[in-house]
Chains A and B, each alone.
Chain A
Amino acid sequence: MRYLSWAYMAVIYLFILLPVGALVLFSFQDGRLPVPPLKGVTLDWYAKVLADRDLMAALGNSFLVAIGSSAVALVLGFMAASGLSRVVLPGSVLMRGLLIAPMTVSYLIIGLGLLQVFNTVGVRPSLMATGIGHVVINLPLCFSIIYAAMGEHQRNAMRAARDLGAREWQVLALISAPMLAPALAAAFFLSVTFSWDEFIIAFLLTRFDVTLPVEIWSMLRSGLSPATNAIGSLVFLVSIAVIVTLELTLFRKARK
């Protein structure tokens, strides 16, 4: 059974890591096609990708949308979680359900609905429109992470602050936010990862200023190319770097 386990693990790791391995390996291909045999190693494709203005603009757009929409989702989710954990309002359960509902719906449907409404009221496809869509998908996430982190302990501290004369915004900014910092950070970075890689809403709701996944999508139309491998590898490396940094700083502290 032991050997069987190791053999199974080896096969499935091969399956899981094969495409990424091929992606990175053939991003160094010294030739026009990212397929075997490997003709030699070159960094030309990376240079080409980094000098590509459309790609770099798309990269910037992706960061802008990801950080902007995550910040809005975080603030709205934090406020809603504080409000709902504070008092039992009539219809609390309904409100919670409504806030989480977008999580259960396919992104394609959310994008399609927004596209129709934006068309009707005359909002043009833009990064702003995409950002609005990304807040819709990330708000449920932020809300539920923060809501779950808010325990009796937090509630008592907030109540004490209020009794001592703190205003509502002071309670939120000086008491809840620092106490919930790990949850807030987790919610924010998860949102950033989702938004930064989101394709279908961005595809439907942008036209000229596109985000990175949409730009990569249009690169794919010209077929296989080591340049696509290079940009894919770069995205991968950046993500890994972010994850490792988070793991070493934030989550290590949170676990203690």
Chain B
Amino acid sequence: MSIERLERRQGAALVAPALIWTIAFFVLPFAAMIWMSLTHMEGRQVVNEPGFGNYLRIFTDPSLFRGIVVSLEITSIVTVLSVILAWPLAWIIATRVPERWRRLALLLAVLPFWTSYVVRSYSWALVLGENGIVMQSLIQIGLLDTPIQIMATRAATIIGFVHFFVMLLTLTIYSNLVQLSPNYARAAEDLGASRWQVIRLVILPLTLPGVVTGAFLTFVLCMGDYITPQILGGNSELTLPQLIMLQLGRRGDYPMASALAVVLMVLVTLAYAGCARWLKMERV
């Protein structure tokens, strides 16, 4: 056997276990889910006659279609707000904070990242509730007479999400900013740009890859998350993941849950296609 063939055989043998694992526990379940989404329930029994009934229902039944709209709305608002809040923070840490404090500043900015995800959502419920710190402080300083209901509304979900994604985006944008050579800004200043013009016309466009990567991550994680909307948003309006869990838990309707999951998947893929130009996922 030639050396080259031996090398190839050994290389293949090394890759095989990981590939087999991925195929057995990712590709196969995924295919099974797509197949399942084409079947439907009759009573408590899954009927294996492929058809697009579930998808038709998703797009015609208002209570299901609403989930897609709610998810897309919440995700877009969260993504935009998080970018707007995170960019200045990343920029301040990268350019205004003295170098020796930078790591500490960054660490503080992402500290709650290390709490458990479930606990993080819960802690917002604690803060935003009628007796929570925020309402009580607002009443104390006389801005409010009675507490406003934020918990179990969309606002609470959005606050919880923005909190998480500001941290995430600060990291991605910061790592982009520190890679930029200060020469760009210097050159623009030499050519007579004001400080604001430097930021808007030079720095901001150069950080676009970091912003898009972070925004895409935000989109994917926000669309697919069940915990935050369930703990903070309650059951007043359901997101796609909440609907999926509802089909599973209360109804045991696997085909419908699968169809909704496929819709979720398609939406994320569309988002990826939209950002693909900026995303260099293979370098992650």
Please list the residues of chain A having a beta carbon within 8 angstroms of any beta carbon in chain B. Answer: 1-2, 5, 8-9, 12-13, 15-20, 22-23, 26, 33-36, 76-77, 79-80, 82-84, 86-87, 89, 95-96, 98-110, 112-117, 120, 132-133, 135-136, 139, 143-144, 148, 168, 197, 199-200, 204, 212-213, 216-217, 220, 224, 228-229, 231-232, 235-236, 239-240, 243
Please tell me the number of chain B residues within 8 Å of chain A, measured between CB atoms.
81
Least Cβ–Cβ distance between A15 and chain B, in angstroms: 7
Residues from chain A with a CB closer than 8 A to the CB of B133 are 18, 22, 35-36
Residue pair B261, A108 in contact (C-beta under 8 Å): yes
B185 on interface, CB distance cutoff 8 Å? no
B132 on interface, CB distance cutoff 8 Å? yes
Residue pair A80, B112 in contact (C-beta under 8 Å): no
Least Cβ–Cβ distance between A235 and chain B, in angstroms: 5
Residue pair B268, A106 in contact (C-beta under 8 Å): yes
Contact of A19 among B112, B241, B258 (CB under 8 A): B112
Interface of A is mostly: helix
A-B CB contact pairs (8 Å), 24 listed: A8-B92, A9-B89, A9-B92, A15-B166, A16-B167, A17-B112, A19-B163, A22-B126, A36-B132, A80-B15, A84-B15, A95-B15, A102-B22, A105-B30, A109-B224, A112-B244, A112-B258, A116-B29, A133-B25, A148-B283, A220-B118, A229-B126, A235-B119, A243-B114
Known contacts A16-B112, A86-B7, A232-B116: A22-B123 contact under CB 8 Å? yes
Residue pair B115, A23 in contact (C-beta under 8 Å): yes
Contact of B114 among A35, A112, A135, A239 (CB under 8 A): A239
Residue pair B11, A86 in contact (C-beta under 8 Å): yes
Q: Contact mask B257-280 → A, CB, 8 Å, 1/0?
A: 110010011001000100000000
Q: Which residue of A lies closest to B124 (CB)?
A: A19
A116 to B253, CA, bound (A): 11
* Contacts beyond the supplied A15-B166, A19-B127, A132-B25: 17 A-B pairs with Cβ under 8 Å: A13-B109, A17-B108, A17-B111, A19-B112, A19-B124, A23-B126, A36-B132, A80-B15, A80-B19, A86-B10, A98-B22, A103-B281, A108-B241, A112-B257, A197-B116, A220-B118, A236-B119
Contact of B15 among A79, A100, A120 (CB under 8 A): A79
B27 on interface, CB distance cutoff 8 Å? yes
Contact of B25 among A5, A34, A105, A135 (CB under 8 A): A135
Residues from chain B with a CB closer than 8 A to the CB of A23 are 115, 119, 122-123, 126
Interface of B is mostly: helix
Residue pair A143, B96 in contact (C-beta under 8 Å): no
Q: Which residue of A lies closest to B92 (CB)?
A: A5
Q: Tell me the B19-46 residues at the A interface (CB within 8 Å).
A: 19, 21-23, 25-30, 32-33, 36
A7 to B136, CA, bound (A): 23
Residues from chain B with a CB closer than 8 A to the CB of A9 are 89, 92, 105
Q: Which residue of A lies closest to B95 (CB)?
A: A5
A198 to B124, CA, bound (A): 19
B56 on interface, CB distance cutoff 8 Å? no
Residue pair A98, B122 in contact (C-beta under 8 Å): no
Residues from chain B with a CB closer than 8 A to the CB of A197 are 116-117
Residues from chain B with a CB closer than 8 A to the CB of A16 are 108-112, 163, 166-167
Known contacts A22-B123, A220-B122: A236-B11 contact under CB 8 Å? no
Residues from chain B with a CB closer than 8 A to the CB of A33 are 131
A33 to B118, CA, bound (A): 19
Contact of B33 among A79, A116, A243 (CB under 8 A): A116
B129 on interface, CB distance cutoff 8 Å? yes
Residues from chain A with a CB closer than 8 A to the CB of B231 are 220
A76 to B18, CA, bound (A): 5
Known contacts A79-B14, A113-B29, A116-B36: A232-B123 contact under CB 8 Å? yes
B246 on interface, CB distance cutoff 8 Å? no
Residue pair B85, A108 in contact (C-beta under 8 Å): no
Least Cβ–Cβ distance between A200 and chain B, in angstroms: 6
A143 to B17, CA, bound (A): 12
Known contacts A100-B282, A109-B261: A20-B96 contact under CB 8 Å? no
